[in-house]
Amino acid sequence: MSAFVAGVIALLVLLLLARGWLGTNARTLASGMRFSGGMILVLVTLALAVTGRIGFAFITASGAWYLLFGQAPPWQTGYGARTGSGGSQSNRQSGNSAPPRVASMSRSEALNVLGLQEGATEEQIRAAHRRLIQQTHPDKGGTNYLAAKINEAKDVLLGRR
């Protein structure tokens, strides 16, 4: 019986909230729904914490944090991980990113990366790039760093950098 009463109360609350959203634009509606979802998850988190289900409470708290603040909660960001804009760790590099770029690649280095000689034609540059990127692409087991270097070498040799 108490579940039925709780369901009726929840339905009434949703109807009251929906009444206020009828004449709004899509952006305001989405923002309101995100806020409402976050608040519902806060209430669920409190109920789970009170009943001793702390593991589930952390999961719902993470969802509530994301809906209310638009970024991952602080207890889920590891050391050096990027947080949202304005976060205290936003200037640190995450483990998956490429190393910071120091200087532009020289022409001789670009030729060396693609395995070409001075005087290579545009067609030879594109063919070497295609061959190497197919071998070292991250989807084929390569790394982002190697693919970026190969792309940079092609751009340098084609005069785009």
Instruction: Output the tens digit of pLDDT for each of the chain's 161 residues.
Output: 677 888 888 887 777 766 666 666 777 767 777 887 888 888 888 888 898 888 888 888 888 888 888 887 877 766 555 544 444 444 444 445 555 555 678 888 888 888 988 888 989 999 999 998 888 877 777 788 888 888 889 988 888 76
Q: DSSP for 76-116?
A: G--TT---STT-TTTTSPPTTSPPPP-SPPPHHHHHHHHT-
8 A C-beta contact, residue 111 and residue 120: yes
Of the candidates 85, 48, 78, 80, the residue with the CA atom closest to the CA atom of residue 63: 48
Tell me, what's the pLDDT at 92? 43
Tell me, what's the pLDDT at 84? 46
To the nearest 5 percent, what fractions of the chain are helix, strand and coil?
Answer: 65, 0, 35
- The helix (run of H) or strand (run of E) holding residue 18 is helix 2-21
One-letter identity of residue 50: V
Tell me, what's the pLDDT at 127? 93
Tell me, what's the pLDDT at 80? 52
- The helix (run of H) or strand (run of E) holding residue 156 is helix 144-157
**Tokens 């970026």 belong to which residue?**
148
Give every CB contact of residue 20 below 8 A, 6+ residues apart in sequence: 32
Of the candidates 116, 109, 145, the residue with the CA atom closest to the CA atom of residue 130: 116
